[in-house]
Amino acid sequence: MEDQEQKHKEEPIIIKKKKAHHGHAAHGGSWKVAYADFVTAMMAFFIVMWILGQSEQIRQMVSDYFKDPGAFNFITGKRTVPVKIDIFENPESGKGEGKDKHQFTFFLPPEQQDTLAEKVSQKLKKQAIQDSIKAVERIKTLAEEIKSILSESAAKNPNLAEMFKSIQFELTKEGLRIELIESQESVFFEVGSAKLKPAAKELLTFLAKEIGKLPNYVEVEGHTDSRQYAKQSGYTNWELSADRANAARKVLEENGLWDGQIVKVTGFADKKLKNPENPFDFSNRRTSILIKNISTEEILKNYAKQ
């Protein structure tokens, strides 16, 4: 008995510890993240390749979408029309002009775009017609002002009275025509030449300052009677009429007309007689300054530029 107990005490005691089982690494989720990144990259790659294969218009639309997604309709994918509204605070004179200005932008759905375009077009045409009428009225007012000033000047200086009598104003469909009509004494130019007399230069200088205040374009014309130069001279009424018109142009442009206001300078010789019944009448020798009316089409083009 004692031998058994002694034997039992001498046997080693073995303690076994089991490690906790955590499973294989392959059973984790980190690979899913990497796979998702790979799929996303591939999708982006194929989208880029698709875009590169499309037309310039489609590429531009895709570019516009990423720049401003809100500018496109969510259902149709079509670009909407931005409409800006200016709101003024503390308006002055009831015209909506104030120091503080706030601007808001909203987008119209596609079905309202055509309606808006039509309304805007009609409004612009109506405004253009009104502006064209105002421009004609302004020319009429200018003509009356010039006549009044010339009349007062003639009363103060009798020496100028004869010259002022030789100026005619005529409102036509084309615009206001100011004609400097020669008389037997050759009021504006030296006889048979394009040399302006000093008083004529002063008159043209005055007209230039007044006409230059207008936005209207100007044409200058030269006319002669049917008296011909000697053939051996080589100088004809064509040269004379053109040279006189050009001489008037120079004085006008140097003394008040804005750059580009004169759009045409023409010499008509005796082909547009003022008095056709008497081709040799002095009234056929004249220089015309045409202040052209502004058409509604020109005003609309100006709106488009703005």
101-118 per-position pLDDT tens digit: 545 444 555 555 566 566
Confidence of residue 294 (pLDDT cuts 50, 70, 90): confident
Domain end position, chosen among 90, 119, 148 = 119
Full domain range(s) for residue 81? 43-119
Q: Specify the pLDDT at position 36.
A: 86
Q: Specify the pLDDT at position 86.
A: 45
Indicate whether 27 belongs to any domain. no
- Cα separation, 226 vs 271, whole angstroms: 9
- Location of structure tokens 């020109």: 298
Mean pLDDT along residues 251-272: 96
Decide: 79 and 71 in contact? Cβ < 8 Å.
yes
Question: Is residue 266 located within the same domain as residue 195?
Answer: yes
pLDDT tens digits along 223-253: 999 999 887 788 999 999 999 999 999 999 9
Question: Is residue 200 located within the same domain as residue 154?
Answer: yes
Domain end position, chosen among 72, 93, 119 = 119
Number of domains in the chain: 2
Indicate whether 6 belongs to any domain. no
Indicate whether 73 belongs to any domain. yes
The larger pLDDT score, comparing residue 108 to residue 271, is at 271
- Which of 43-47, 70-74, 168-172, 237-241 shows the lowest per-residue confidence on average (mean pLDDT)? 70-74
Domain end position, chosen among 92, 119, 146 = 119
Q: pTM score, two decimals?
A: 0.60
Decide: 207 and 289 in contact? Cβ < 8 Å.
yes
Question: Is residue 286 located within the same domain as residue 212?
Answer: yes
Question: Is residue 105 located within the same domain as residue 169?
Answer: no
- Cα separation, 70 vs 79, whole angstroms: 9
- Location of structure tokens 């980190």: 30
Question: Is residue 115 located within the same domain as residue 193?
Answer: no
CATH number where 239 lies: 3.30.1330.60
Question: Is residue 59 located within the same domain as residue 207?
Answer: no
Question: Is residue 56 located within the same domain as residue 102?
Answer: yes
- Location of structure tokens 């808001």: 104
Two tokens, residue 290: 């045409």
Question: Is residue 81 located within the same domain as residue 110?
Answer: yes
Question: Is residue 110 located within the same domain as residue 226?
Answer: no
Give the count of beta carbons closer than 10 Å to the beta carbon of residue 169.
Answer: 15
Question: Is residue 87 located within the same domain as residue 223?
Answer: no
Question: Is residue 177 located within the same domain as residue 271?
Answer: yes
Q: Specify the pLDDT at position 73.
A: 54
- Cα separation, 239 vs 194, whole angstroms: 9
DSSP codes joined into one string, 127-152: HHHHHHHHHHHHHHHHHHHHHHHHHH
Indicate whether 105 belongs to any domain. yes
Indicate whether 20 belongs to any domain. no
Indicate whether 242 belongs to any domain. yes
Confidence of residue 222 (pLDDT cuts 50, 70, 90): very high
Question: Is residue 294 located within the same domain as residue 189?
Answer: yes
**Runs of H (alpha helix) within the chain:** 2-10, 30-52, 56-67, 110-156, 161-165, 198-211, 237-254, 296-305
SS3 189: strand
